[in-house]
Amino acid sequence: MRFFICALSCFLLCASTTLAQYTFTGYVAAERVDADIYLSVVEDYRKISGVYPEQILAKTQADSTGFFSFSGNNLSLENKIYRIHIDTCSDDIQATTHFDGHCINSKEIIFIANNSTAVFLPFSFDNEMFCRVISKDERASAFLRIDSLKHDMRFAFGSYRSEANRKLNSKKWFTIFQNYGEQLQEPLAELYSYAFLSDRTHNLYAYYLEDLKTNSYYNELLLRLQEKYPNAPYTRQYESELAADRFLVASEKPAANNLWFYLAGILALVSLAVNIYLFRRIARLKQRSVSEESTLSEQEKKVLELILANKTNKEIASLLFVSVSTVKTHINNLYKKLKVTSREEVKQLFPQGVQFQPGV
């Protein structure tokens, strides 16, 4: 019986192009024969993997041998991303188990197809389901080959966890994924790699932003998408994300420059405020000293000149032929009239010294 079904699947695979309809057939494991099998179309490449009810196109169940089939002519004529997943969750718990799009009770396979694509999903060599894609269009199995690269990359990163190893492998695997995707000549397969490398929750995201600054690959991928899928949601989504990430990258350096600019501006304002304060203070002191000078007696003016000449009280008394106590009296009067309390403040009032004309 199984041989007959396999032969029938191969026949449908070969005849589908002439019938102009899609045929997606395969097998599920015996323990999942009673589970529901879903066909979904993925138009948001950030939701390639998962269980999203809004993406579901059809539902079926396998027969007693595990064989299932989806067929018809209602799919898009251009390539899109499709997912087949089998779900063992009951209807009453799906709302909670599928809340974030991921379910441990679901197994899936993702492939590229259109309305005339025939895909057969047999068991793998180690008897695993959803691990092989057989199709006349090799691009249908591109996602599985990219998943194999992901596995190799994870092994390379995990072999030695150091910063040097991370940087070396980041550059290496970015180049491998980009070159491989381009060789497939299918931009949707490149988007699968891009979604993986640019995932904001991924350790490679920081390197992706650095790579975006200098690598022309991302612009070239946009051109390939616009040429092959000008009106597809994938193209619009990629274009929007690329623009947003480029804005993020472009704003990093100016942000640092702006910080220094603001700091320099603040320092300049502080310096200007200090200079204005000092200028006004000096002006006030000079104005006050000039006004107070006119009230000094002749003897006090002489004492002032000698203080500015750094003479001691004893020296001033000797030069003026008066006692030291008299000098102290003159100095106290001088302080009161000039509104100062020390010789240092007197010197600050007259930094250039002072000369009085006779009789003034």
Q: What confidence score (pLDDT) does residue 16 get?
A: 47
Domain 294-349 belongs to what topology? Arc Repressor Mutant, subunit A (1.10.10)
CB 130 within 8 A of CB 83: no
Class at the top of the CATH hierarchy for domain 2-136: mainly beta
Burial of 325 (0-12, 13-18, 19+ CB in 10 A): exposed
| Alpha-carbon span 134 to 233, nearest angstrom | 27
Q: What confidence score (pLDDT) does residue 270 get?
A: 82
Sign of the dihedral through C-alpha 38, 43, 49, 52 = negative
CB atoms within 10 A of CB 222: 16
| Alpha-carbon span 321 to 9, nearest angstrom | 131
Q: Which residues pair with 38 in a beta bridge?
A: 59, 85
List, for the chain, all residue ranges whose pLDDT scores fall below the cut of 50: 1, 3-5, 16-18, 255, 359-360
Note the residue count of the chain. 360
Q: What confidence score (pLDDT) does residue 360 get?
A: 44
Q: Which residues pair with 85 in a beta bridge?
A: 38, 108
Q: What confidence score (pLDDT) does residue 283 get?
A: 61
Q: Which residue has the tokens 């040097």?
A: 164
Tokens, residue 357: 């004309």
Burial of 38 (0-12, 13-18, 19+ CB in 10 A): buried
CB 354 within 8 A of CB 303: no
pTM above the 0.75 mark? Answer: no
Residue boundaries of the structural domains of the chain: 2-136, 147-252, 294-349
- CA 105, 110, 115 angle in degrees (round to 5)? 125
Backbone angles phi, psi at 72, to 5 degrees: 155, -170
Beta pairing class for 67-72 and 36-42: unpaired
Torsion of CA 325, 329, 334, 336, to 10 degrees: 140
Alpha helices in the chain (DSSP H): 2-19, 94-97, 142-159, 163-183, 187-197, 205-214, 217-228, 233-293, 298-308, 313-320, 324-338, 343-349
> Which residues make Cβ contacts (< 8 Å) with residue 356, sequence separation at least 6?
293, 301, 305
Which of 94, 112, 121, 81 lies closest to 36, judged by CA?
94
Q: What confidence score (pLDDT) does residue 230 get?
A: 95
